[in-house]
């Protein structure tokens, strides 16, 4: 027995991802093992432990809080201070109030124990679609407030039955204090409906699987919203889905079990780990030939987006269907994914033949995350369900930065909140040029600010005055009397890559290569293929792709032939363009004289140095782009999918005599036209284009790095989601002896802009 004189008390505060991960039960079991008395509770985004016992036991507790944490937890700090010795015994007590942090757990894919349980006849949750435990299940999609307790989730309306209550209260049970705990007796239920009526079915899920097998299209309510599902091997069903959804070519995601995924795609160990991770994202994988998939699932692509079932409902549905299923976002073209029942019934009417519904409300819309392995590691392309909202730790010299609200850009929008050296980058919120998405963005901003009790000291926005996010940021800054920081688009891209890679403010400048579609430059013109020298506070453009006129303005972003004409006229001269039969075939039926007149007079033909438009034009020359794009990146994706081999790169001509270096693609265009005339394989031409662009920008960046005495190059912008281009550029820079900073957990596209804006604004206000 321990002498009372040897006992001491402490209050231990644990910060990080410590809610919704079984942290309090973990502490409870530790305390019992170590013979400690006291209590544990949630307080805002922290866990507070009042413990008493021998000093050696308290030291062991503090050590175990870091070394033995639950699998989903992430401990950022353990703070200890003296406190009175508590009463005998150890208890988990009700959560208390406190300052909210950004430590909320994302939704977690079904764990092996729960998968086994739903597959075991006679088990209490056999075939139950809402089975979960402390290690898995819904989190962010159901939480309405913090502290994270059942009463603050969308499970509040489901009263636990005695059996679930017993599990919830039992420290030895894996469902001890699992807030979404449920069973067939007391939890959410499924039903199938069509034409406004519930379909009579003994097992709605089995009936839904039969409907899918018969070629019908269903809306399936999941964790973060609705999917539209059909049989991925049924050509007619896939074609019908595309026609109804007005989605002619954009690849569709597929859900399949792991064995089927291996049958469909070549999967590396790293890719399999990503598929099986708690986040369970869509992973872009190399398609195998002759898979049996409908060609319309991913037309013209060599990669397929696959995700494994990540809820019991999805596991049961995929198993019952016995085939891979298209599982695409439940929305009309360009509209946000629906997540509320009545909105789904209204919005998806005419697209789906029925709805597989359940009665657990969804607190917020969460699209599936998307990732691919490139340049040696998994890289996030869309941050959504499973990845948001855990915070990103900023470089250590941002610990004292003021809290910033950054609102991102117009496309692939996301917002970012910073606080105490951490950045909370929101889930993907969509393209704000769609009014409904803009409204949803404002709703998400209110939601995040309230949930995380964020009080910004600075607001950061893109320089473009017409972006909805920019206008909203200016209004919020004015209403709150806060400073408004405008951050140039490509500076934000590079700053995001710097921050994610731990580049500190005092580490100095980097050379940044920013390749994307378009962003407003410091000079008021459109930029999109730039080399910058920058730190967090400021950037200076030092090189660019030679600009061309975008005849028709925004129309050039949708019709690649317009950009092709501008590039070829500049590179070959109009007489040579008109004399080439191969070019004539690309431009047949187009109003070439009208466009040339627009460009000559500068009427609705702004100059732009865009890498995205360069890819569009190259795809158009090779006959890989439609007359009018049906989705962003369509032409560039076709060009990447066509590329094969490692041919010599097409030449680009650097012009280094002026203050602003030019990277001229004219020699590449002349070489491509010559190869096209000679009948060279399109696959080799597409590859040579990728390698030529990579070499040109790597060579220029390396020269600038030497001139400026800089040792690191950061890459960002949506064009770097092209794995072939990214890998070629990284290899070229590494060969030249430069450190390369590349986004991974943060999207390289505009989904990462808000993080870059936030760190730039923070640095400017840190003195």
pLDDT at 15: 87
Distance between CA atoms of 677 and 46, rounded to whole angstroms? 67
Is residue 257 domain-shared with residue 355, that is, in the same domain?
yes
Q: Which residue has the tokens 């008109």?
A: 578
pLDDT at 1: 43
Is residue 233 domain-shared with residue 335, that is, in the same domain?
yes
pLDDT at 95: 65
Is residue 647 domain-shared with residue 688, that is, in the same domain?
yes
Range of the domain at 350: 100-382
Q: Is 354 part of a structural domain of the chain?
A: yes
Is residue 411 domain-shared with residue 487, that is, in the same domain?
yes
In contact, 542 and 536? CB cutoff 8 Å: no
Is residue 170 domain-shared with residue 284, that is, in the same domain?
yes
pLDDT at 539: 98
**Residue 92 neighbours by CB under 8 Å, 6+ apart:** 24, 25, 28, 39, 40, 41, 177
Phi, then psi, of 86 in degrees rounded to 5:
-80, 170
Q: Is 510 part of a structural domain of the chain?
A: no
| Averaged pLDDT, groups of 10, the chain, 767 residues long | 70 86 87 94 86 95 92 88 94 63 77 97 98 94 86 96 95 88 98 96 97 98 97 98 95 98 98 97 97 96 97 98 97 90 96 98 96 97 94 94 97 94 94 88 90 92 97 97 98 98 97 97 96 98 97 94 97 95 89 95 95 97 94 95 97 92 98 96 98 98 97 98 98 97 98 98 94
In contact, 95 and 179? CB cutoff 8 Å: no
Question: In CATH, what number is assigned to the domain containing residue 654?
Answer: 3.30.420.40
Domain termination site, one of 382, 401, 416 = 382
pLDDT at 103: 53
Is residue 110 domain-shared with residue 67, that is, in the same domain?
no
Question: In CATH, what number is assigned to the domain containing residue 440?
Answer: 3.30.420.360
In contact, 572 and 670? CB cutoff 8 Å: yes
Domain termination site, one of 382, 401, 429 = 382
Backbone region of residue 412 per phi and psi (left: phi > 0; alpha: psi in -120 to 50; beta: other values): left
pLDDT at 552: 94
Q: Is 512 part of a structural domain of the chain?
A: no
Q: Is 113 part of a structural domain of the chain?
A: yes
Is residue 331 domain-shared with residue 286, that is, in the same domain?
yes
Q: Is 56 part of a structural domain of the chain?
A: yes
Strand, helix or coil at 354? strand
Is residue 359 domain-shared with residue 458, that is, in the same domain?
no
Q: Please count the structural domains in the chain.
A: 4
Question: In CATH, what number is assigned to the domain containing residue 14?
Answer: 3.30.70.100
State the DSSP code for 396.
G
CA 650 to chain centre: 33
Domain termination site, one of 334, 358, 382 = 382
Is residue 123 domain-shared with residue 53, that is, in the same domain?
no
Is residue 113 domain-shared with residue 82, that is, in the same domain?
no
Is residue 148 domain-shared with residue 226, that is, in the same domain?
yes
Q: Is 255 part of a structural domain of the chain?
A: yes
CA atoms within 13 A on the CB side of 33: 12
Q: Is 516 part of a structural domain of the chain?
A: no
Question: In CATH, what number is assigned to the domain containing residue 264?
Answer: 3.90.870.30
CA atoms within 13 A on the CB side of 559: 17
Measured between its terminal Cα atoms, the distance across the chain in Å is: 57
Length of the chain: 767
Question: pTM for the complete prediction?
Answer: 0.93
> Using CB atoms within 10 A of its CB, is residue 735 exposed (0-12), middle (13-18) or buried (19+)?
exposed
pLDDT at 7: 87
State the DSSP code for 44.
T
CA atoms within 13 A on the CB side of 210: 9
| CA angle, residues 93, 94, 97, in degrees to nearest 5 | 125
**Residue 213 neighbours by CB under 8 Å, 6+ apart:** 231, 321, 322, 323
Is residue 135 domain-shared with residue 174, that is, in the same domain?
yes
Alpha carbon distances (Å) from 403 to 449, 459, 470, 555:
12, 9, 18, 39
Q: Is 506 part of a structural domain of the chain?
A: no
């Amino acid at each position: 027995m321990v002498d009372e004189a040897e006992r001491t008390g402490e209050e231990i505060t644990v910060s990080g991802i410590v809610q919704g991960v079984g942290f309090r039960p973990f502490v409870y079991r530790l305390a019992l093992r170590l013979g400690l008395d006291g209590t544990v509770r949630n307080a805002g985004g922290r866990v507070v432990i009042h413990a008493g016992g021998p000093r050696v036991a308290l030291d062991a507790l503090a050590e175990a809080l870091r070394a033995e944490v639950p699998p989903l937890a992430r401990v950022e700090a353990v703070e200890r201070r003296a406190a009175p010795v508590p009463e005998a015994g150890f208890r988990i007590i009700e959560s208390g109030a406190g300052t909210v942090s950004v430590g909320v757990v994302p939704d977690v894919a079904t764990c092996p124990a729960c998968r086994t349980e739903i597959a075991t006849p006679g088990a209490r949750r056999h075939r139950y679609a809402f089975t979960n435990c402390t290690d898995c299940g819904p989190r962010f999609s159901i939480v309405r407030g913090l502290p994270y307790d059942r009463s603050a989730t969308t499970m509040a309306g489901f009263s636990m039955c005695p059996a679930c209550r017993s599990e919830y209260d039992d420290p030895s049970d894996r469902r001890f204090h699992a807030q979404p705990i449920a069973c067939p007796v007391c939890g959410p239920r499924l039903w199938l409906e069509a034409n406004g009526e519930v379909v009579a079915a003994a097992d709605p899920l089995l009936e839904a699987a039969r409907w899918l097998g018969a070629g019908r299209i269903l809306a399936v309510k999941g964790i973060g919203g609705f999917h539209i599902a059909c049989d991925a091997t049924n050509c007619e069903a896939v074609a019908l889905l595309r026609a109804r959804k007005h989605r002619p070519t954009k690849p569709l995601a597929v859900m399949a079990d792991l064995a089927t995924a291996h049958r469909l795609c070549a999967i590396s160990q790293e890719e399999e780990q990503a598929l099986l991770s708690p986040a369970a994202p869509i992973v872009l994988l190399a398609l195998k030939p002759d898979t049996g998939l409908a060609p319309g699932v991913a037309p013209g692509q060599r990669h397929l987006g696959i995700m494994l079932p990540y809820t019991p409902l999805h596991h049961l549905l995929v198993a019952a269907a016995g085939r891979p299923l298209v599982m695409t976002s439940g929305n009309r073209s360009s509209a946000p994914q629906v997540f509320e029942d009545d909105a789904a019934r209204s919005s998806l009417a005419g697209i789906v033949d029925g709805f597989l519904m359940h009665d657990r409300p969804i607190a917020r819309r969460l699209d599936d995350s998307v990732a691919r392995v490139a340049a040696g590691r998994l890289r996030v392309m869309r941050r959504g369900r499973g990845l948001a909202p855990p915070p990103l730790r900023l470089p250590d010299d941002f610990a004292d930065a003021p809290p910033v609200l950054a609102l991102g850009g117009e496309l692939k929008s996301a917002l970012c909140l910073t606080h105490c050296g951490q950045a909370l980058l929101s889930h993907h919120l969509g393209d704000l040029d769609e009014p409904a998405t803009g409204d949803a963005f404002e709703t998400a901003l209110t939601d995040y600010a309230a949930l995380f009790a964020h009080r910004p000291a600075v607001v950061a926005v893109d320089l473009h005055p017409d972006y909805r996010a920019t206008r909203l940021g200016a209004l919020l800054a004015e209403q709150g009397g806060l400073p408004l920081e405008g951050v140039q688009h490509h500076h934000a891209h590079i700053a995001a890559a710097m921050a994610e890679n731990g580049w500190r403010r005092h580490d100095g400048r980097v050379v940044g290569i920013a390749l994307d579609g378009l962003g407003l430059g410091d000079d008021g013109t459109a930029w999109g293929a730039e080399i910058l020298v920058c730190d967090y506070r400021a950037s200076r453009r030092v090189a660019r792709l030679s600009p061309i006129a975008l005849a028709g303005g925004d129309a050039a972003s949708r019709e690649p032939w317009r950009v092709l004409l501008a590039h070829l006229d500049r590179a070959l001269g109009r007489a040579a363009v008109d004399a080439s039969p191969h070019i004539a075939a690309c431009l047949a039926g187009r109003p070439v004289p009208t466009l040339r007149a627009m460009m000559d007079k500068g009427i609705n033909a702004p100059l732009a140095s865009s890498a995205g438009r360069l890819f569009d034009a190259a795809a158009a020359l090779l006959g890989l782009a439609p007359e009018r794009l049906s989705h962003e990146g369509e032409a560039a994706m076709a060009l990447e999918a066509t590329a094969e081999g490692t041919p010599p790169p097409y030449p680009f001509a650097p012009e280094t005599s002026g203050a602003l270096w030019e990277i001229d693609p004219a020699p590449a265009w002349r070489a491509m036209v010559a190869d096209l005339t000679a009948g060279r394989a399109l696959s080799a031409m597409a590859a040579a284009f990728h390698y030529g662009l990579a070499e040109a920008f790597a060579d220029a960046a390396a020269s600038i790095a030497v001139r400026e005495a800089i040792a690191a190059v950061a890459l960002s912008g949506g064009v770097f989601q092209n794995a072939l281009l990214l890998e070629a550029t990284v290899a070229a820079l590494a060969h030249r002896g430069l450190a390369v900073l590349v986004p991974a957990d943060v999207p390289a596209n505009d989904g990462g802009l808000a993080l870059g804006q936030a760190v730039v604004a923070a640095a400017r206000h840190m003195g």
